Structure 1
Amino acid sequence: MESPGGKGQPVDLLVEAFRKGKPGAFEAIVQAHQDRVYSFCARMLSDREDALDAAQEVFLSAWRNLSRFRGEAALSTWLLRIAANRCLNRIRRRKSLSEREAPWPESPGEEGEAIIFQPAGGEADLPDRLAETGEMREILTEALSQLDPGSRWMVLLSDVEGFSYEEIADLAEVPLGTVKSRLHRARMAMRRLLSPVA
Structure 2
Amino acid sequence: MLDYLNGAPAAFAAIVERHENRLARIAFRIIGCRSEAEDARHAVFVRFLQLCGSQPRQFTRVGAWLTRCTVNEAISRVRKQNREGRVRAEFATLVPAAGISSPSEQVEAEESRERLSIALAELSPDARAILSLRFDEDLTFREIAVLLDRPPSTVKSQLAKAIAQLRDLLGAAN
Same fold (TM over 0.5): yes
1:80 Cα deviation after fit:
1.4
Whether the aligned pair in 2 keeps the contact of 1:43 and 1:117 (CA below 8 Å) is no
Counterpart of 2:147? 171
1:81 Cα deviation after fit:
0.6
- The one-letter code matched in structure 1 to 2:89 is W
Counterpart of 2:156? 180
Q: Structure 1: give runs of 5+ residues left out of the alignment.
A: 1-14, 106-114
Counterpart of 2:108? 132
1:173 and 1:131 map into 2 onto residues whose CA distance is 41
Whether the aligned pair in 2 keeps the contact of 1:165 and 1:179 (CA below 8 Å) is yes
- The one-letter code matched in structure 2 to 1:51 is A
Deviations 1:99-157 (A, max 9, x none): 2242302xxxxxxxxx41435x7822534555433332222121111111111111111
Of the three residues 18, 26, 47, the one matched with 1:32 is 18
Whether the aligned pair in 2 keeps the contact of 1:37 and 1:83 (CA below 8 Å) is yes
Of the three residues 90, 93, 98, the one matched with 1:123 is 98
- The one-letter code matched in structure 2 to 1:83 is T
1:117 and 1:38 map into 2 onto residues whose CA distance is 14
- The one-letter code matched in structure 1 to 2:59 is F
1:69 aligns with 2:54: no
Whether the aligned pair in 1 keeps the contact of 2:41 and 2:70 (CA below 8 Å) is yes
Of the three residues 84, 87, 96, the one matched with 1:99 is 84
- The one-letter code matched in structure 2 to 1:55 is R
Give the number of the structure with larger relative contact order, counting CA–CA contacts within 8 Å between residues 6 or more apart.
2
1:27 and 1:127 map into 2 onto residues whose CA distance is 42
Structure 1 residues 76 and 90, CA, compared in 2 at 3 Å: closer, same or farther? Answer: same
How many residues align structurally?
169
Report the 3-state secondary structure (helix = DSSP H, G, I; strand = E; otherwise coil) of the residue aligned with 1:104: coil
Whether the aligned pair in 2 keeps the contact of 1:117 and 1:140 (CA below 8 Å) is no
1:42 and 1:51 map into 2 onto residues whose CA distance is 5
Whether the aligned pair in 2 keeps the contact of 1:166 and 1:176 (CA below 8 Å) is yes
Deviations 1:43-90 (A, max 9, x none): 21122322221111011112223422113xxx3332111111111222
Whether the aligned pair in 2 keeps the contact of 1:41 and 1:51 (CA below 8 Å) is yes
1:32 Cα deviation after fit:
1.9
1:78 and 1:132 map into 2 onto residues whose CA distance is 39
- The one-letter code matched in structure 1 to 2:141 is Y
Whether the aligned pair in 2 keeps the contact of 1:116 and 1:138 (CA below 8 Å) is no
1:181 Cα deviation after fit:
0.6
Percentage of matched positions with identical amino acids: 30
Of the three residues 63, 85, 89, the one matched with 2:76 is 89
Name whichever structure is richer in helix by fraction: 2
